[in-house]
């Protein structure tokens, strides 16, 4: 039996192998993510970034290897256990803003807080604060269909951050945004992660955006090719 990972790692993975319908996506990936760290996963299209985030965030079961969250095994959980872990401990921002179309922006952001048991007033107050941080407070009463893509994405970021989960996964979160908005949303993600001591795992094509992270791992063809020494991060709020 293998040893449990070190206590100070939030996420710890060893030898992850994962295929999609016979197409190998990850071919033995090992990595660790420390508490409060902002880790960027870079690599060309099809290199396995989304699959890696899927395996680390318990969305996808691994074919081989181990994934641990705070010294508890994830790779041995069944579907229900993985779903509970995701719902209770992880936030997710995808490259497309998937919001509930019938709800206003504020209701969308409040929803995960209400599902976690918060009272209506507290959930709506927190949602308003997060919309304000993401610079979309003016959209609070509008529904997703009335908003452009980049505003919807900011709301999706607010929704992921509002419950302040221990880990937020962001899979190419700036893809729907224009250049200036990309920088701003990334800065907000980075500063929220730092001020709320969240751990952030971010997949991106853009090495420039990886500058906001504490550390980068680079994937090529389902393998980590290099884990460069920490590059100077852009200070939050700049
Ligand atoms: N649902 C799927 N069904 C079949 N093959 C898949 C599926 N998802 C991913 N793949 C394949 O697995 C490999 C890794 O894909 P993945 O999406 O993880 O890479 P990526 O680095 O995130 O790519 P991108 O930057 O384009 O999002 C690719 O060869 C891809 O075609």
pLDDT tens, position by position, 150-181: 899 899 999 999 999 999 999 998 887 887 77
Q: Is 66 helix (H, G, I), strand (E, B) or coil?
A: strand
Q: Whose C-alpha lies nearest to ligand 1, atom 18?
A: 48
From the CA of 21, give the closest atom in ligand 1. 4
pTM for this prediction? 0.89
Would the pLDDT of 49 be above 80?
Answer: yes
The domains located in the chain, with CATH, are 9-226 (3.40.50.300)
Quick: pLDDT tens for 181-205.
788 778 888 887 888 889 999 998 8
Q: What are 230's strand-pairing partners?
A: none
Q: What is the pLDDT of residue 237?
A: 45
**Which positions ≥6 away from 167 have C-beta within 8 Å?**
10, 11, 33, 57, 69, 89, 90, 91, 198, 199, 200, 201
46 CB near ligand 1 (under 6 Å) = yes
| Distances, alpha carbon 154 to alpha carbons 70, 78, 148, in Å | 29, 32, 10
Judge if the beta carbon of residue 50 lies within 6 A of ligand 1: yes
Closest C-alpha residue for ligand 1 atom 17: 50
Per the prediction, the chain carries an average pLDDT of 88
Establish whether residue 22 lines the binding site of ligand 1, counting it when its CB lies within 6 angstroms of any ligand atom: no
What is the number of the ligand 1 atom nearest to the C-alpha of 52? 18
In Å, the largest CA–CA distance within the chain is 55
Nearest CA to ligand 1 atom 31: 46
ipTM: 0.95
pLDDT in tens, 105-160: 999 999 999 998 999 999 999 999 999 988 899 999 999 999 998 899 899 999 99
Q: Which residue has the higher pLDDT, 178 or 53?
A: 53
Q: Mind listing the pLDDT tens digit for each residue in 206-238?
A: 766 677 888 999 999 999 996 544 444 555 444
Q: How far apart are CA 139 and CA 147, in angstroms?
A: 8
Q: Which of 16, 17, 20 to mutate to test the pocket of ligand 1 (most atoms within 8 A of CB)?
A: 20
Q: Which long-range contacts (CB under 8 A, 24 or more apart) does 28-34 make?
A: 28/65, 28/222, 28/223, 29/65, 29/219, 29/222, 29/223, 29/224, 30/65, 30/224, 31/217, 31/224, 31/227, 32/5, 32/6, 33/9, 33/167, 33/199, 33/201, 34/8, 34/9, 34/10, 34/199
């Amino acid at each position: 039996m293998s040893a449990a990972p070190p206590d100070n790692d939030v996420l710890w993975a060893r030898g992850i192998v994962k295929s999609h319908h016979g197409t190998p996506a990850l071919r033995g990936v090992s990595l660790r993510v420390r508490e409060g760290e902002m880790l960027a996963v870079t690599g060309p299209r099809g290199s396995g970034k989304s699959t890696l985030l899927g395996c680390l965030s318990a969305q996808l079961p691994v074919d081989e290897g181990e994934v641990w969250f705070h010294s508890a095994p994830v790779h041995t959980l069944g579907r229900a256990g993985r779903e509970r872990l995701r719902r209770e401990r992880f936030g997710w921002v995808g490259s497309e803003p998937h919001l509930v179309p019938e709800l206003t922006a504020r209701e969308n952001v409040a929803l995960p807080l209400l599902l976690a048991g918060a009272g209506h007033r507290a959930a709506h107050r927190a949602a308003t604060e997060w919309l304000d941080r993401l610079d979309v407070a003016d959209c609070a009463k509008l529904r997703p269909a009335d908003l452009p893509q980049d505003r919807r994405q900011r709301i999706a970021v607010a929704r992921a951050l509002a419950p302040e989960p221990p880990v937020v996964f962001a899979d190419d979160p700036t893809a729907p945004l224009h250049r200036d908005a990309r920088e701003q949303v990334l800065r907000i993600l980075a500063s929220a992660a730092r001020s709320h001591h969240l751990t952030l795992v971010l997949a991106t094509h853009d090495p420039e955006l990886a500058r906001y992270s504490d550390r980068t791992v680079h994937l090529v063809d389902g393998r980590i090719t290099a884990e460069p020494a920490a590059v100077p991060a852009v200070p939050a709020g700049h």
